[in-house]
Chain A
């Protein structure tokens, strides 16, 4: 955690803040989703409670908390209560391991009659040395809350929803994993921070003594892995159970799928888990393919230099530069969250056999082909 009280405090605060940001982003996303859906469908959406309907979120939260506590007679209580709590874990564990900004170097400073520092802080919950493997491991546990909810509810619709959900998640995990392997081959590392720093500068290809630089494009992963990026995005939709892959919920057939029997705050926890997956998937998309926290055309050093022009303190400059990059990262993530929402209201739901066929017979071969092509090219270049 750290060597002295200041470092420990900052690191603990970071963890708590990232979790709270994830949880409190959900109501805003729900608002965005409802308003966005309304505008896509030429309606107005919730606009009565407060300015632009923004306090609708608070009203909803209060409603969720004060709803009646309800457990079905045939439910298995332990699993029924455990599932929503477990649903929060994978997304928050994964999100805490993602780099949200550059590393901040703090030089020694004086405060409270004592000299503190030097410190090195990274804008992420904790740096897992496994990087991407840790994120994959955490999000591979996301199947269990669904299975627990489906089995624990003692309801056939719930069970069907859970079985559909889990089979969908493990089917698309393969295509997703293979797409990520392509990224790992390109960058040659598991470490997400190194992946982001490798995408700094203008786009430049180099092979067999030739090199080509396109100065108007950033050096982003998507220009190396276009097929992989598309496959990853599609698999991310399936992994977070979003339309067009929301078979586990399938209102027309299964009432509400695995959370048929859940109401109030318990239902809300599942909701937060689902949106958490969306946030993690968007963040991973940005880190792998869209330069992470880097601002296109401007390197972190240039930002620091620009800031030091009118701020004296070196520490303040470092922190401000970190916050600016955090802002860039958030903007990119929000663009992808908006794509998630836009797709939900643009595409119809798949049929179950179409879903399985797409996963196993289309995406898996394409992902394998992409991986083999990448490996062959990388081997030829080096």
Chain B
């Protein structure tokens, strides 16, 4: 077994185990910490494939920023009533089984596509330095610039919506009506 194969299996096992931990941990805080481990594992797998820029961005954006907010919010909330509300009821059960079915279908089709598809050849040693990043930037800002900008606008809309919701009646930052 070469070092690369060993690393792949090690990282794959860590990633999958921590991803399962996200599902099966009893406490949402532990789930969030497992998700962090999953993100770091995925990023390390990217690095193993030679996609260094993606690996770095994966850690900076997901592990470094998004999940910190998850963990902080969960530490501040009392989640017991939410857990109860989520685990009871037939309608909830139907939704849960439905979403599991959809997820399983997605995973199965992903496996089918990847096993039947054409393997991408790894072209030797990955390019070091700025070159891949430069190519990615060029693609993003020329070929895909409209989609890129629309996504930015979408995120802005989400942020404005969150502020509007929290300030409307019944929200956490509702204006007092005297």
Residue among A140, A167, A188 making CB contact with B60, cutoff 8 Å: A140
Whether A140 lies near B72 (C-beta < 8 A) is no
A133 and B72 form a contact (CB under 8 A): no
B6 within 8 A of A: no
**B68 with A170: CB separation less than 8 A:** yes
In contact, B64 and A143 (Cβ under 8 angstroms): yes
**Residues A166 and B56 in contact, CB atoms below 8 Å apart:** no
For A141, the chain B residues whose CB sits under 8 A away are 40, 59, 63-64
For chain B, residues 107 to 147, give those with C-beta under 8 angstroms from any C-beta of chain A.
Answer: 126, 128-130, 133
Contact A140 B76 (CB under 8 A): no
Question: Are B52's CB and A136's CB within 8 A?
Answer: no
- Residue A137 lies at the interface, judged by CB distance under 8 Å to chain B: yes
- Evaluate whether A159 and B64 lie within 8 angstroms (CB atoms) in the complex, with A129-B128, A144-B36, A190-B129 already known: no
Count A-B pairs with CB separation below 8 Å.
71
* Chain A residues closer than 8 Å to B71, beta-carbon distance: 147, 166
Query: Which of the residues B40, B55, B68, B126 comes within 8 Å of A143, measured between beta carbons?
Result: B68
Tell whether, in the assembled complex, residue A167 and residue B130 are in contact, meaning their CB atoms are under 8 Å apart: no
Nearest CB in chain A to that of B69: its residue: A170
The 0/1 profile, CB within 8 Å of B marked 1, for residues 184-214 of chain A is: 0000111100000000000000000000000
Q: Most chain-A CB neighbours within 10 Å: which of B60, B72, B126?
A: B60
Q: Is the interface of A mostly helix, strand, loop or mixed?
A: helix
A189 to B130, CA, bound (A): 6
Give Cα distance in the complex from A348 to B64, angstroms: 29
Residues of B contacting A162 in the complex (Cβ-Cβ under 8 angstroms): 75
Contact present for B60 and A137 (CB under 8 Å): yes
Known: A163-B72, A170-B68. A133 touches B57 (CB 8 A): yes
Smallest CB–CB gap between A89 and chain B, Å? 11
CB-based nearest A residue for B43: A137
Question: Quick one: given A130-B52, A144-B36, A191-B130, are A151 and B63 in contact (CB under 8 Å)?
Answer: no
Contact digits for B8-52, partner A, Cβ 8 Å, 1 yes 0 no: 000000000000000000000100010010001001000000001
Give the docked Cα–Cα distance between A173 and B63 (Å): 13
A130 to B65, CA, bound (A): 19
Q: Please measure, in the bound complex, the distance between the C-alpha atom of A173 and the C-alpha atom of B59, giving whole angstroms.
A: 14
Q: Which residues of A contact B40 (CB under 8 A)?
A: 141
Chain B, residue nearest A152 (CB): B29
Instruction: Indicate if the CB atoms of A166 and B53 lie closer than 8 Å.
Output: no
Alpha-carbon gap, A163 to B43, bound state (A)? 26
Is A350 interfacial (CB-CB < 8 Å)? no
Q: B residues within 8 A CB of A167?
A: 72
Q: How far is the CB of A257 from chain B (nearest CB, A)?
A: 15
Contact across chains for A130 and B64 when beta carbons are under 8 A apart: no
Tell me whether A166 and B59 are in contact (CB under 8 A). Answer: no
Q: How far is the CA of A147 from the CA of B76 in the complex (A)?
A: 12
Tell me the complex Cα distance, A190–B76, Å.
37
Would you call B129 and A191 a contact (CB within 8 A)? yes
Q: Is the CB of B56 within 8 A of A134?
A: yes
Q: Which residues of A contact B33 (CB under 8 A)?
A: 144, 148
Name the residue among B53, B57, B69, B129 with the largest chain A CB count within 10 angstroms. Answer: B129
Contacts of B57 in A (CB 8 A): 133
CB-based contact B56/A163 at 8 Å: no
Among A129, A140, A147, A173, contact of B75 (Cβ-Cβ < 8 Å): A147
**With A130-B53, A166-B72 in contact, is A137–B64 under 8 Å at CB?**
yes
As a 0/1 sequence over residues 293 to 313 of chain A, the CB contacts with chain B under 8 angstroms (1 = contact) are 000000000000000000000
Chain B nearest CB: distance from A36 CB in Å?
A: 33
Q: Which of B29, B55, B129 contacts A151 (CB 8 A)?
A: B29
Q: How far is the CA of A91 from the CA of B74 in the complex (A)?
A: 27
Nearest Cβ in chain B — how far from A8, in angstroms?
13
Other-chain contact of B72, A136, A147, A173 (Cβ < 8 Å): A147
Indicate with 1 or 0, residue by residue over A328-349, a CB within 8 angstroms of chain B CB atoms: 0000000000000000000000
What are the 9 closest A-B residue pairs judged by CB atoms, nearest first? A140-B64, A133-B56, A137-B59, A129-B128, A130-B56, A137-B56, A130-B52, A137-B60, A143-B68
Chain B residues with CB under 8 Å of chain A are: 29, 33, 36, 40, 43, 52-53, 55-57, 59-60, 63-65, 68-69, 71-72, 75-76, 126, 128-130, 133
Give me 5 other A-B pairs in contact (C-beta within 8 A), A150-B75, A151-B29, A170-B65 excluded. A133-B52, A133-B57, A137-B60, A163-B76, A189-B129
18 contacts between A and B (CB under 8 A): A129-B128, A129-B129, A133-B52, A133-B56, A138-B59, A140-B63, A143-B64, A147-B72, A150-B75, A151-B75, A159-B75, A166-B71, A167-B72, A170-B64, A170-B65, A173-B65, A190-B129, A191-B129
